[in-house]
Amino acid sequence: MQEYTHKQISYKSHWQEAWGNPVFRRKFSIASLVLIVIVFSLPTFFHYIEKREGATLHDLVLHAIPPADVSVPTFLIIWTISGLVIVRMIQQPSFALLMLSAFTLLCIARMVSIAMVPLDPPAGLIKLNDPITSLIYGGKDKFMTKDLFFSGHTSNMFIMCLCLPKKTDKYIAFVATLAVAILVLVQHVHYTIDVLAAFVFTYIVYMVSKLGSSY
């Protein structure tokens, strides 16, 4: 109990010290504000995306994979790693700033990419049931089919993997990222190019965020 209390005090002191730094406070506040604006704009954005016409790609990889509903393992993997990230953010203000900045920039990059690359969903798509993510889309039963290029599930997992400071955490998150990348293909919710591009775009976002989140 004493050790737990000591850790609580340590985390609190780390945050007090970080928040006392005007650069940290400004960057954290701006990133938080931008992310809030993005979250509130997502239902309108996705509503527009779902209504437009897009291209259908001939995907040899998907053609070779029989579609299957793997919503439950996908959901469990994503939110388990997300929980780990939240814990680490509470423990380390510097990581919290990097994660917040990177995730915000990733959201912007993905919205721009989706807007510029209109695609219709792959053949055999099975809706991915994620009650938490669906709330961002505008309701518990909402599911988007045209937010394709690049994969949000893969990129969100990979940005957490890249940002996590501990090697063990990175290893776990990387394995989880690969698992999610495979699972979204099994469920046919993304084209192969969506998943592959997610790794490239996410790494660029990470490098930019790393430069911009120092204080």
pLDDT, tens digit (0-9, with 9 covering 90-100), for 52-83:
999 999 999 999 999 999 999 999 999 999 99
What single DSSP character describes residue 55? B
Displacement of CA 43 from its chain's centroid (Å): 17
pTM of the model: 0.91
Q: What are phi and psi of 119, to 5 degrees?
A: -130, 145
How far is the C-alpha of 22 from the C-alpha of 11, rounded, in Å? Answer: 19
pLDDT of 78 reads 96
Average pLDDT rounded to a whole number, residues 5-18:
77
The structure tokens 């939240």 sit at 86
Dihedral (Cα; 15, 11, 35, 103), 10-degree rounding? 120
How far is the C-alpha of 196 from the C-alpha of 177, rounded, in Å? Answer: 12
Say how many C-beta atoms besides its own lie within 10 A of residue 124's C-beta: 14
Max CA-CA distance within the chain?
A: 60
Say how many C-beta atoms besides its own lie within 10 A of residue 133's C-beta: 18
pLDDT of 208 reads 96
Average pLDDT rounded to a whole number, residues 29-49:
94
Asked if 53 and 118 count as a contact pair (C-beta separation under 8 A), the reply is yes
pLDDT of 104 reads 98
**The tokens of 204 are what?**
């660029």
Displacement of CA 144 from its chain's centroid (Å): 15
Closest CA to 59 of 151, 146, 143, 121: 121
